[in-house]
Structure 1
Amino acid sequence: MTKITVKTDCGNAPKREFLKEFNIAFAKENIGFLTESVTDDIVWNIVGDKKIAGKKNFTDELEKMKTEKAAELILDQILSHGKEGAANGVMKMQNGKKYAFSDFYEFNSAKGAKLKSITSYVIEIQ
């Protein structure tokens, strides 16, 4: 079971709540939720590693990542404004590895509920 730690906020920001749920779904490998949360033309840029374009490739990449199981997700900050958002924190894996991450999101519109792009910065930490 994945432990989830999220700093509390006012609870009155639907996009921040969505980004929290999106990150939790990532940690818990809920590929169905993740796939339904992106547009068909999603672009996921994992800086310094790869760029994934299209919903099918996005889903395929998530399936490949299932080999490493998350033990804990710590979400330090979640921000949203207009059609953009960001989240950062630490993901601790069951194999003992830890990754600090910062993700930047673009929604399909200011009122949109689907992500059209994600830019991820991920580094392994001690």
Structure 2
Amino acid sequence: MKDFKKFLREFNDAWAKPDIETILAGVTDDIRFRMANSETPIEGKAAFADWLKSMDSCESQAHITIERLIVDGDYAALTGDITFSGRDAGKHYVFCDIYTLRGDRISELTAYCLSVDESAGMS
């Protein structure tokens, strides 16, 4: 049986780099990815790869800190913080990712991400 906590930590490390090859190796061919603030999900590995490549063109480096990671059967949830260096230095987000797991890969990922307004004391 796969250690999904370790797998999801490595998956998020790959997301921060971004290491598109490792990310794609961790998802099913019929992956369904959705940002919670978007009405239209990205469906299928090819469409997901295209979306990842568009993100890779950024001139920023993400730094992800995982706060909580829960795995229960075929489902997982992960919360944490994202900060950036490079072009987006100073930006800070909190996130919660909800995963559906199939076999040893991710078949569905819904990402909730909120900007933290440091001036409002939300850090």
* Shorter-chain TM-score tier: 0.7 to 0.9
Is structure 2 residue 25 aligned with structure 1 residue 36?
yes
Equivalent residue of 1:106, what SS?
strand
What corresponds to 2:100 in structure 1?
106
Aligned residues: 111
Measure, in 1, the Cα distance between the counterparts of 2:107 and 2:71: 15
**Residues 41, 54 of structure 1: 8 Å contact kept:** yes
Runs of 4+ with deviation above 3 angstroms: none
What corresponds to 1:18 in structure 2?
7
Is structure 2 residue 35 aligned with structure 1 residue 46?
yes
Structure 2 residue runs without a partner (length 5+): 118-123
What corresponds to 1:57 in structure 2?
47
With the length of structure 2 as denominator, give the TM-score of the two structures: 0.84
Measure, in 2, the Cα distance between the counterparts of 1:75 and 1:68: 23
Counterpart amino acid of 2:109? I
Counterpart amino acid of 2:95? F
**Residues 41, 116 of structure 1: 8 Å contact kept:** yes
CA RMSD of the aligned region, Å?
Answer: 1.4
Counterpart amino acid of 1:55? K
Deviation (angstroms), 1:68: 5.0
Deviation (angstroms), 1:69: 2.3
- Kindly name which structure, 1 or 2, has the bigger radius of gyration based on alpha carbons: 2
- Same amino acid, percent of matched pairs: 32
With the length of structure 1 as denominator, give the TM-score of the two structures: 0.83
**Residues 105, 119 of structure 1: 8 Å contact kept:** yes
Measure, in 2, the Cα distance between the counterparts of 1:68 and 1:26: 14
Structure 1 residue runs without a partner (length 5+): 1-12
